[in-house]
Amino acid sequence: RFLLSGNLHGGSVVASYPYDDSPTHKPTGVYSKSADDEVFKYLAKAYASHHPIMRTGKPNCPGEEEETFQDGITNGAQWYDVEGGMQDYNYVWANCFEITLELSCCKYPPTSELTGTLSLRSLRRLLHCFPQVHIGVKGFVRDAVTGAGLENATIVVAGIAHNITAGKFGDYHRLLVPGTYNVTAVVMGYAPVTRENIEVKEGAATEVDFSLQPTVMPPALNVTQLTATPAPVSTVTPTPVQAEAPSPTSLHQPVQPVDFRHHHFSDMEIFLRRYANEYPNITRLYSVGKSVELRELYVMEISDNPGVHEAGEPEFKYIGNMHGNEVVGRELLLNLIEYLCKNFGTDPQVTDLVRSTRIHIMPSMNPDGYEKSQEGDRGGTVGRNNSNNYDLNRNFPDQFFHVTDPLQPETLAVMTWLKTYPFVLSANLHGGSLVVNYPFDDDEQGIAIYSKSPDDAVFQQLALSYSKENTKMYQGSPCKDMYPTEYFPHGITNGAQWYNVPGGMQDWNYLHTNCFEVTIELGCVKYPEAEELPKYWEQNHRSLLQFMKQVHRGVWGFVLDAMDGRGILNATISVADIDHPVTTYKDGDYWRLLVQGKYRITASARGYDPVTKTVEVGSKGGVQVNFTLSRTDIKVEKGKVPVLNTPDTSDPNEKEFETLIKDLSAENGLERLLLTSSGDVSPYRYRPYKDLSEFLRGLYLNYPHITNLTSLGQSVEFRQIWSLEISNKPNQSEPEEPKIRFVAGIHGNAPVGTELLLALAEFLCMNYKKNTAVTKLIDRTRIVIVPSLNPDGREIAQERGCTSKIGQTNAHGRDLDTDFTSNYSRYSGTREPETRAIIENLILKQDFSLSVALDGGSLLVTYPYDKPAQTVENKETLKHLASLYANNHPLMHLGQPGCPNKSDENIPGGVIRGSEWHSHLGSMKDFSVMFGHCPEITVYTSCCYFPSAGQLPGLWADHRKSLLSMLVEVHKGVHGFVQDKSGKAISKATIVLNEGLKVYTKEGGYFHVLLAPGLHNINAIADGYQEKHVKVFVRHDAPSSVFIVFDTENRIFGLPRELVVTVAGASMSALVLTACIIWCVCSIKSNRHKDGFHRLRQHHDDYEDEIRMMSTGSKKSLLSHEFQDETDTEEETLYSSKH
């Protein structure tokens, strides 16, 4: 509650105080005195006396030079009459004292005055007003018996006809000027108390507390309802509770509930708050959502460590009142809450159960229907359905039957709840019969026939554990007067065998979560008279406790990583011959309900070698079986590729940041960030182009050290396409920091994404240096936000146009998400200016690790590609990123967008490939992947393209966690550095991932790529170096680092050096051998010439001439020429010319 307020105006220099108008409404000159006139004058003077102009009483404003105000203050109506002024409203209706401060003759002074003495002086004077909020008298008004604060107690000051009221905790503060007063505290139902002669001095308020005696005393407390302090939380593995009934010979008698009545919603709400307040050590009251009529869907958690999932401790839930007119379950669960709270610490059975189990109790899933139902209803239907007239137990997605009814708020809330907690066992409490019904509830043929689940034996055991403790139920003939032929052996039945129920909640639990659920019909009468309720508790309370103990039956344990001993999230636990695997939770803990017997159980996880164990399950309690999995190819043997993991770092800052990423990736990590954040940035209106531009400039001017506002270009109609970067060094290059891009408004008729990104930007800026997690994320990330890519289309789009296409295209009528066609260099001249701007100045110019585009028209996420018949190289990673966004949204991951034009649409997990949902060419997403080498997902934020502004706060609440999860995820994947043996960084090296996706090293040899958790292959290639091949294991909650060192190139002409040398050597040898052979052959021929005839060399020239001359002569002419041998002896002459 506000205590003191100042309303800052312009147009004069004076402090004005109430009242602003008078009964006669005379334009001026009437002093309209309030009951606290002295206080108001005191407050006004506190400001005016420190103002150099105001305190003179002569503003000297142009045109009003003669206007004067004594001491620089004035009664509002005396100056001029203002009907409907805000300061009067504050005083009369809001406990708040407000004055109006006129700060300057000029209403809109030049900027030079704002940055000069005017702003500094005004700031100092405003600071002088702050201490006045502490004057007067203050204290608490409490109940004299209980000591509880009395909210809305009236504080009366004698002689002053203006009262104030106390706050939520009985706290009050009454502004008064120095003096002596008689003050009275008054509360209906209590005797008033007056404190006389209270002296109020200058400065801090005088503290006066009031203790009021109730005029009607409450009944005495039952001494048996005391609770013991719970034992400290143990760090050892919890011991399972034995699934046995309590000993009938026990001397201890537990405290039984006494609150037997029908609780309407307000009464139930008070009941739940009361027990949450009285037993804070073992309870936590929370809501999972709201009904159609906006009633909270409350859940009471009961545990020795409420609010925390303890590793190895199973979680259990009861749900009541799904059908509004079936009320016995609602009242039994309220009785159960009372019973568990009152007996914890004194009753061994209850204490063991609470310490070893995290229990969640939802008394009413259909509070709206309950309020319509009528006491005494035996078998009617009034109030059965919710306020939209849908049966909630026919509203869940079904395995055999397509449920066409839209998912109801209650259904969606419960589905989200079941996906949030690792429930192991559950029961849904109904009325109208007396039997335990187990899955399946329907079958393929849609007829009443036994529909057996893979865990049929387990379900029968669970059902019997309840019915055996209820004598009447176990007999099997529950409602003879209503259904004389109905018989259930041992009080249990298969759901579909009884009657076919498509869309039932218990089947959805079993098929879509790790939770086994049965439906318990508690009595033949749906809404019995209140006096009958104790009988229902007597019949069912042992069954309720015994059923809860079954959560500890079967096998439980942990699946751990052999390398670091950490738990493996989402590892699969499979039981041979039972086609129903379960998965591990965040600490690697799992629970698998089984009946007595021997089983072969296998634990497996992506990137790990599976492990199988044979397990013997007994008839009592559970068996702990832990699995330790080794990563695939974890050992580096000769000839094998090494597997690289995140190396230990000695840098404490790095370790601290890695811890932060892990914490934010854990369950409730982002919720904790949001809870500890400061400032409310919830959007409440749409901003047209001018307002958007001013908002972005405002962020830039107010946070200049972490923001940089630039224009990527202009639209067709010359509006700027703004880009806001948020980083600790927004104007510097930091290649080692991952970069993320958020883009909205590609379709102008879907502006929700624009407002979400503006809210995200403001949230980040406001929390910088205030929230540790946000500060570290900004310091380590380069965040680029493009809130409106199509500002022209946005300007003509119309609010509440849920299906309107007005504004979808740009001013040329072009859908921008079809304009990112082919390679930019070939068609850049024909692109739309908006497309060209983001391509040339963002997508291709800067290296991004992740891009998120926001659109409208449904509630889902798509991943590349949008064009048909395109192989997706990195599908697992792209789908992982899309799933991460959807899973952090309260509704998206359920896969039921529920849009009016496609009410039957079912998108598993809320994620689908773009071409399978809306196939088209030229999308930004496809271009980003193919040419920008950046993974991009498209988020469709709501079914309505342009919902009313009133829906924006809810949309922000739904999407903010998902948007922040992207900032966390961009730090995961693989971070790497590439260099040679000399330590030289190698930029522009090619990194090939899983033999498909390619990225390139940046300046300094750095690269970063997002990958789905698991084992991945990396090939590093650079000119002049040997190719490197490694494997890296990527975790879901931490980044992985690789350090690649290239060896000098060992290839010649693309062939291994050894092969080239060998071939070259062989070739040389062959050449030498060939030369030798030729020489030998030539030598032999030369020797033969020496033994024969040849021309005489000394007459060479003449001979040649003669030959040429005689070449046409007869052969005989040659015989007349002389030939000589080259020997020196005449004896060897064989022929000579005749003489």
Residues with active-site annotation: 102, 521
CA pair distance 305, 422, nearest whole angstrom: 16
CA pair distance 1089, 1071, nearest whole angstrom: 27
Q: Which residues contact 139 (CB under 8 A, 6 or more apart)?
A: 171, 172, 207, 208, 209, 210
CA pair distance 887, 758, nearest whole angstrom: 22
> How crowded is residue 750: how many other Cβ atoms within 10 Å of its Cβ?
28
CA pair distance 396, 504, nearest whole angstrom: 6
**Is 495 in contact with 504 (CB distance < 8 Å)?**
yes
Structure-token pair, residue 637: 């043997």
**Secondary structure of 317-369 in the HEC alphabet?**
EEEECCCCCCCHHHHHHHHHHHHHHHHCCCCHHHHHHHHHCEEEEECCCCHHH
CA pair distance 1021, 1006, nearest whole angstrom: 14
CA pair distance 129, 46, nearest whole angstrom: 6
Backbone dihedral angles phi then psi of residue 696, each to the nearest 5 degrees: -65, -40
**Is 722 in contact with 692 (CB distance < 8 Å)?**
yes
What size, in residues, is the chain?
1139
CA pair distance 423, 316, nearest whole angstrom: 6
CA pair distance 424, 314, nearest whole angstrom: 6
**Is 961 in contact with 884 (CB distance < 8 Å)?**
no
C-alpha angle 624-628-631 in degrees, rounded to nearest 5: 155
Structure-token pair, residue 719: 């509006």
Q: Residue 1111: exposed, middle, or buried by beta-carbon count in 10 A (0-12, 13-18, 19+)? A: exposed
**β-bridge pairing 206-207 and 137-143:** parallel
CA pair distance 386, 408, nearest whole angstrom: 9
**β-bridge pairing 179-186 and 193-200:** antiparallel
CA pair distance 1076, 1066, nearest whole angstrom: 15
CA pair distance 257, 339, nearest whole angstrom: 6
Which residue do the tokens 């290059």 mark? 733
CA pair distance 239, 527, nearest whole angstrom: 39
